[in-house]
């Protein structure tokens, strides 16, 4: 199994996406005959790169079957969450949708394959709905959140809203989903207070 290797002085590779505030972070992996070591998150090193977020809760979920869709979810203020998402086992297509009213990219989306092998992470800021579809059985997602779970602020957006047009590679008839997600409203009908600030 090949690992993306970096030299010691290189700790995290940061890439832009089509949504300016959504970033792909790839922490360095230091390989040897045993495998690899990686600092999957280092507050100070990210702050040096201008990414200074106070994460307070780590989440971890296992989806047993390929084709599981979780999302699109977000929390409204005062408990909106930034998320830093990675895949601990298997692979998934991670999706972020800009739901900030007035944003130049309102309703636009990006998708990135995150896997245990590629070590990529997606930074999903407040004001973006987040979801994923699993690409393998037994996929585990692990992510940091900048605010605590607040059920009263927890919202869902229809994952296959044609007005958004996310290319999931699966239809709801085949996807494994929660009842909450199957019943989620379209973007136009969403209880969504987010407003873009230039």
Task: Name the site residues for ligand T46 (rule: CB under 6 A).
Answer: 59, 61, 70-71, 73, 83, 130-132, 149, 178
Residues counted in the chain = 198
Strands (E), the chain: 12-16, 23-27, 30-32, 35-37, 57-63, 69-75, 83-89, 91-98, 109-115, 121-124, 128-134, 139-145, 154-156
8 A C-beta contact, residue 141 and residue 60? yes
Cβ proximity to ligand T46: between 28 and 159 the closer is 159
Report the nearest approach of ligand T46 to the CB of residue 65 (Å): 14
| Active-site residue, from 3, 101, 143, 148 | 143
**How many Cβ atoms from other residues are within 10 Å of residue 183's Cβ?**
10
Cross-strand partners of 62: 140
The answer to whether residue 73 is catalytic is yes
CB 11 → ligand T46: shortest distance, Å? Answer: 26
Nearer to ligand T46, 28 or 87 (CB): 87
Least distance (Å) from ligand T46 to the CB of residue 33? 36
Q: Which residue is nearest to ligand T46 (CB)?
A: 149
**How many Å apart are CA 120 and CA 140, to the nearest integer?**
14
For ligand T46, the closer of residues 28 and 81 by Cβ is 81
CA nearest 142: which of 71, 72, 57, 82?
Answer: 57
Residue with tokens 């307070």: 56
Q: Smaller CB distance to ligand T46: residue 37 or 149? A: 149
Catalytic, 143? Answer yes
Check 73, 79, 130, 149 and give the catalytic one. 73
CA distance 118 to 3: 8
Q: Which residues are catalytic?
A: 73, 143
């Amino acid at each position: 199994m090949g690992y993306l290797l970096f030299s010691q002085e290189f700790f995290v590779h940061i890439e832009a996406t089509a949504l300016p505030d959504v970033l792909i972070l790839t922490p360095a992996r230091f390989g040897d005959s045993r495998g690899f070591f990686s600092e999957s998150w280092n507050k100070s090193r990210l702050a040096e790169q201008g990414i200074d977020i106070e994460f307070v809760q780590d989440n971890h979920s296992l989806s047993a079957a390929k084709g599981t869709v979780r999302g699109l979810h977000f929390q409204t203020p005062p408990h909106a969450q930034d998320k830093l998402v990675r895949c601990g086992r298997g692979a998934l297509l991670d999706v972020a949708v800009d739901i900030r009213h007035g944003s130049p990219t309102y309703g636009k989306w990006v998708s990135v394959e995150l896997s245990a092998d590629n070590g990529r992470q997606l930074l999903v800021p407040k004001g973006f709905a987040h979801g994923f579809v699993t690409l393998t059985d037994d996929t585990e997602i692990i992510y940091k959140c900048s605010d605590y779970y607040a059920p009263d602020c927890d919202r869902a957006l229809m994952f296959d809203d044609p007005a958004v047009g996310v290319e999931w590679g699966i239809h709801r008839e085949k996807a494994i989903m929660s009842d909450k997600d199957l019943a989620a409203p379209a973007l136009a009908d969403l209880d969504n207070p987010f407003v873009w600030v230039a």
